């Protein structure tokens, strides 16, 4: 079945360690996104990418890094510079849109819950 796979589902990290969250999609979507969600809050955009080898910072990119070497994959690294990394991380993908084709919702993975000990 087509979809987005995030792993791991749960992750524990010690302070000062980097950790990488995986996001893979087989929907043939060009666009991919990473969001962070804190308890009771909305989704905040970390990074996004419309095409391979290109990505843009979102509203809260500090302390995070990404790569987009393949269309299907958009891993997120939470670095030790991220001061409060404990959160729920959601990856999403969609078709690329144009002003003349503006219909295309985001498809989400099941999320990764990161806890810093």
Partner 1 sequence: AQKITQTQPGMFVQEKEAVTLDCTYDTSDPSYGLFWYKQPSSGEMIFLIYQGSYDQQNATEGRYSLNFQKARKSANLVISASQLGDSAMYFCAMREGLGTSYDKVIFGPGTSLSVIP
Greatest alpha-carbon span in the chain = 48
The answer to whether residue 13 forms part of the interface with partner 1 (CB under 8 A) is no
Among 2, 83, 103, 117, binds partner 1 (CB under 8 A): 103
For tokens 């987005």, the residue is 4
C-alpha distance across the termini of the chain, in Å: 35
Among 3, 8, 18, 97, binds partner 1 (CB under 8 A): 97
Burial class (CB within 10 angstroms; exposed 0-12, middle 13-18, buried 19+) of 102: exposed
Strand pairing report for 76-78 and 107-108: unpaired
Q: Closest separation between CB of residue 82 and partner 1, Å?
A: 20
Among 96, 114, 115, 117, binds partner 1 (CB under 8 A): 96
Backbone torsions φ then ψ of 29, nearest 5 degrees: -85, 140
Letters for 39-78 (x = contact with partner 1 by CB under 8 A, - = none) are -xxxxxx--x-xx--x-x-xx-------------------
CB 23 within 8 A of CB 35: no
The answer to whether residue 81 forms part of the interface with partner 1 (CB under 8 A) is no
- For partner 1, the binding residues (CB under 8 A) are 31, 33, 35, 40-45, 48, 50-51, 54, 56, 58-59, 88, 90, 92, 94, 96-99, 102-108, 110-111
């Amino acid at each position: 079945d087509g979809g987005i796979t995030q792993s791991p589902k749960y992750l524990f990290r010690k302070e000062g360690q980097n950790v990488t969250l995986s996001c893979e999609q087989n929907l043939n979507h060009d666009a991919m996104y990473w969001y962070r969600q804190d308890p009771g809050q909305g989704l905040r955009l970390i990074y996004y990418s419309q095409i391979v080898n290109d990505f843009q910072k979102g509203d809260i990119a500090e302390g995070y890094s990404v790569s987009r070497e393949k269309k299907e994959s958009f891993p997120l690294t939470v670095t030790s510079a991220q001061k409060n990394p404990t959160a729920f991380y959601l990856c999403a993908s969609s078709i690329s849109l144009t002003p003349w084709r503006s219909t295309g919702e985001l498809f989400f993975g099941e999320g990764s819950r990161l806890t810093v000990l």
